[in-house]
Amino acid sequence: MPGQKPIKVALLGCGTVGTEVVRLLTDQAPDLTARVGAPVELAGIAVRKPNKHRQVPAELLTTDVDALVESDVDVVVEVVGGIEPARTWLLKALRAGKSVVTANKALLADHSGELFEAADASGADLYFEAAVAGAIPLLRPLRESLAGDRITRVTGIVNGTTNFILSGMDSTGASYAETLEEATRLGYAEADPTADVDGFDAASKAAILASLAFHSRVTAAEVHREGIASVSAADIAAAKGLGRVVKLLAICERVDGSESGEPGAGESISVRVHPAMIPRTHPLAGVSGAFNAVFVEADAAGEMMFYGKGAGGAPTASAVLGDLVAVARNRVVSGRGPRESAYAALPVRPMGQAPTRYHISLDVADRPGVLSQVAAVFAEHDVSIAVVRQEGRVDDAGLVIVTHAATDAALRSTVDKIGGLPVVREVVSVMRVEGEE
């Protein structure tokens, strides 16, 4: 609108994502003005080493983050990452009434409550679509579009590095180490891939998803986490033999007392990240390479899947710009975005109480009575067997068992006792099974 006061933006960080944010703000300036109802003006960019950012206007660069945050900007966009000093900067901005757009999953997974409280106290907005699944419009549908529904389960592939590795192992038969090396060479894995392959990245995202889906505060520390380093080529082959594929899944679900195995227990939530076998007919099974996808189940809406590029400079910047347009519009019309919804305050169940299924591969002695001894242990722990497959060899045999649903603690105790049977030479592998009744 002619004469409308510009919306001033401070950008904290100018790495891969920040550089794309600057480019989009510049290239799309006329369109953004039309969409927002006012010009969107980049007031400054906080970086550590200005001489390393020749691709952006030098006059915008500053190393004084505090001065930039405390200036007369309307919106602070943070793409630095990490907990500190990002937490301090964003709290300062929110407490001063400046809206915040962030892509910082680790910060949100640990401190979203503190950030929302600061936003509520000052009337500022807090948006974070880019924190989970890159360009995929996911958090806003959970936060707004499905606000009138009851979400029962969210299952997602939310880390592109691990999905690239597991997809490669499935298609080539290569080992984990070989496929990780290839992912590193192609730039899909960092030189230190720990955050990805050990599940830390996915756990932070799972905490955010669970918080939004179930109207409860969930932190990354409450998410059960397992990585993919122990997934072998044999596990991948075993999954293929059963018509399944292995994925690193972030699983967030409602659990009532009867499902958890605890009589009289009330509703709670299970939030976990671990490798799992899923049927090749499941919508998530066909998600390959570095793509992300999240499968949502709700009472009224039914089943939905969100799919797309989950990382990268341009995709993540697209999500950042979407949030920036939203908060800028609110500034123009003196409106406010959605607030935190944590009224349900559902407790997070320990992993041992989570309902799940196991795929167990055993190396056993090839003689009569082995299966009956193994089955007796399952019965002792009240775990029902769904599938048994035995392959005989000269002196020993391979035994594969897939269970019906039981608590993870019961299944783990079953496996531990089976491993001590004289007829069992080795528990070759144990993997959870998801996506089946």
Q: Which residues are annotated as catalytic? A: 205
Distance, in Å, from the CA atom of 129 to the CA atom of 79, rounded to the nearest integer, reads 12
Q: Are 279 and 287 in contact (CB under 8 A)?
A: no
CA distances 370 to 133, 202, 393, 410, 428, Å, are 46, 39, 14, 21, 16
Give start and end residues of each alpha helix (H) in 123-276. Answer: 139-140, 160-172, 176-185, 194-197, 200-214, 233-241, 257-260
Structure-token match 């080529």, residue found = 233
Question: Which amino acid belongs to residue 26?
Answer: T
3-state helix/strand/coil string of 206-218: HHHHHHHHHCCCC
| 251/313 Cα distance (integer angstroms) | 26
- Residue 359 phi, psi (nearest 5): -110, 120
Scanning 232-359, the segments in alpha helix (DSSP H) are 233-241, 257-260, 313-333
Cβ atoms of 319 and 103 closer than 8 Å: yes
CA pair distance 420, 116, nearest whole angstrom: 50
| Rounded Cα distance, 8 and 86, in Å | 20
Tokens linked to 94: 């929110």
- The CA-based angle 251-345-253, given to 5 degrees, is 20
The H or E element that residue 91 is part of is helix 86-95
Widest pairwise Cα distance in the chain: 88
Kindly report the number of other CB atoms within 10 A of residue 382's CB atom: 11
